[in-house]
Amino acid sequence: MATKLNNPRGTSDILPDEISFWQTLESKGRQMLTLYGYREIRTPVFEETALFKRSLGESTEVVNKQLLEVKSQRVDADEASSLALRPEGTAPIVRAYNQNDLGREEYLSKLFYIGPMFRGERPQKGRLRQFHQIGAEAIGRGAHHPLIDAEMIALAVGMLKSFGVEGFRVKINSLGSSEDKANFAQWLRAQLKDRINHLSDDCKNQYERNVFRLLDSKDKDCQAVIRSLNIGTAHLSSKGLEYFNAVRCGLDSLGVAYEVSSNLVRGLDYYTHTVFEISYEGLGAQDAIGAGGRYNGLIEQLGGGDRRVEGEIGAIGFALGIERILLALEEQGKQVKAGRVIDAFVVTGSHAQVDAAFLLVDKLRQAGLSADMDYSARAFKKQFEHANKLGARFAFILGDEEIKKGQVSVKNMATGEQRSLSIDEAIKSIERS
């Protein structure tokens, strides 16, 4: 026998019993995003590799270790020689924002997306190679206000609540402006210079490549060193601190609960000012159910912006991980799977009635009722089992007698009540119920 093929490691099939959960979540998400003025955008699932290198940063794990590059049999000379599956949605949206000149029309573009992302990570619970995000990005000259940061965090929290997730924690921090960030990196390097030799090779590596990663290192010795530095908000300029305080005031005025975590940095290089992460403790090591932050400057870094107009384009966004939300809901004992329901299942007495059943099913569907049948006219018992599996509300039984009289026996599957009716009456009766 031929060997059975399986899905690639770190991916999963979303089966029909789970799909209604996904659809509900997506529709609640869309509803909330629309309330906040966001409009959907769909970008390709693969992009030029250079886009991710230039935005997320060459030294980040996502680019350095996890990018899934696409090998094409056919790469024309005028096409990009290197393509990669998108590991996240922000860079592609900034690329689309720039390419389509969205900033020309709009002072503030509010965009959202739902879709699969790809990272070649080592798979484990809550960490997949293909996962799904629902995210929002606010980009434009009008995206600079700290109240937009507060609103963005409130939106992420509101969406999670609307999905039924409870007991999550919101951590926020500020990295300050690009200048603050550069000063902070320099200061960190100076502080750690004499101590780094006592730390692990991994930490030394991070020190060289991206010193911020040491702040949220999982390494115990590294954590102790970082704690001893007592990093509060000292790395922020007065303007940076003022901005961060205004974001906090905004969150307080909206009644959004949060903690300030000075160790919170993000694994992607493009962030400035506010960064945030939403975690759900019951998930173990992969407890981030959503994250985001501000990324002023990325638009210009990717070739956008209008040099004739003063000032940087502002931008902020977040993405929630759908699979992790599902795990959190399961952990809370919430129903994430659903069986199906159809209006009617047509049961036939024998092969002689299959053609009539076929037409009856069609008539039911024309009337807007979901209907199905057993095309091979198996034993009555088997057909009723089939009807129950499909969640049929009614069975329409067609035997010789019924066909002769132009009738059908309608059985209510919940109560067992059964009556004979003309076909039109039968359809009307279940339309009403």
Binding site for ligand HAM (CB under 6 A): 88-90, 119, 121, 126-128, 131, 133, 135, 137, 288-293, 317-319, 321, 323-324
CA angle 33, 37, 40 (to 5 degrees): 60
CB of 100 to ligand HAM, least distance (A): 18
Residue placing its CB nearer to ligand HAM in the complex, 184 or 276? 276
Of all residues in this chain, which one has the CB nearest to ligand HAM in the complex?
321
Residue placing its CB nearer to ligand HAM in the complex, 288 or 390? 288
For 184, phi then psi, to 5°, come to: -65, -45
Q: How far apart are CA 35 and CA 31, in angstroms?
A: 6
Residue placing its CB nearer to ligand HAM in the complex, 320 or 360? 320
Q: How far apart are CA 280 and CA 209, in angstroms?
A: 30
Residue placing its CB nearer to ligand HAM in the complex, 291 or 347? 291
CB of 405 to ligand HAM, least distance (A): 59
CB of 375 to ligand HAM, least distance (A): 41
CB of 88 to ligand HAM, least distance (A): 3
CB of 302 to ligand HAM, least distance (A): 14
Looking from the CA of 206 toward its CB, the CA atoms found within 13 Å total 19
Q: How far apart are CA 238 and CA 201, in angstroms?
A: 36
Q: How far apart are CA 55 and CA 91, in angstroms?
A: 6
CB of 208 to ligand HAM, least distance (A): 22
Residue placing its CB nearer to ligand HAM in the complex, 316 or 403? 316
Tokens of 388: 């129950």
CB of 339 to ligand HAM, least distance (A): 27
Residue placing its CB nearer to ligand HAM in the complex, 171 or 324? 324
List strands edge to edge, sheet with 46-48: 46-48, 83-85, 69-70
Residue placing its CB nearer to ligand HAM in the complex, 130 or 412? 130
Tell whether the torsion through CA atoms of 285, 87, 295 and 178 is positive or negative: positive
CB of 322 to ligand HAM, least distance (A): 8
Residue placing its CB nearer to ligand HAM in the complex, 89 or 146? 89
Residue placing its CB nearer to ligand HAM in the complex, 264 or 291? 291
Tell me if 33 sits within 8 A of 154, measured CB to CB. no
What single string gives the DSSP state of each residue in 318-346?
EEEEHHHHHHHHHHTT--------EEEEE
| Separation of CA 83 from chain center | 22
Residue placing its CB nearer to ligand HAM in the complex, 171 or 411? 171
Distances (CA, A) of 384 to 234, 290, 342, 388, 427: 71, 45, 13, 6, 19
CB of 324 to ligand HAM, least distance (A): 4
CB of 299 to ligand HAM, least distance (A): 13
Enclosing H/E stretch for 67: none
Tell me if 207 sits within 8 A of 226, measured CB to CB. no
CB of 142 to ligand HAM, least distance (A): 17
Distances (CA, A) of 57 to 5, 83, 116, 134, 286: 36, 16, 21, 22, 22
Residue placing its CB nearer to ligand HAM in the complex, 290 or 314? 290
375-411 b/e (C-beta count within 10 Å ≥ 16 → b): eebeeeeebbebbeebebbbbbbbbeebbeeebbbbb
Enclosing H/E stretch for 64: helix 61-64
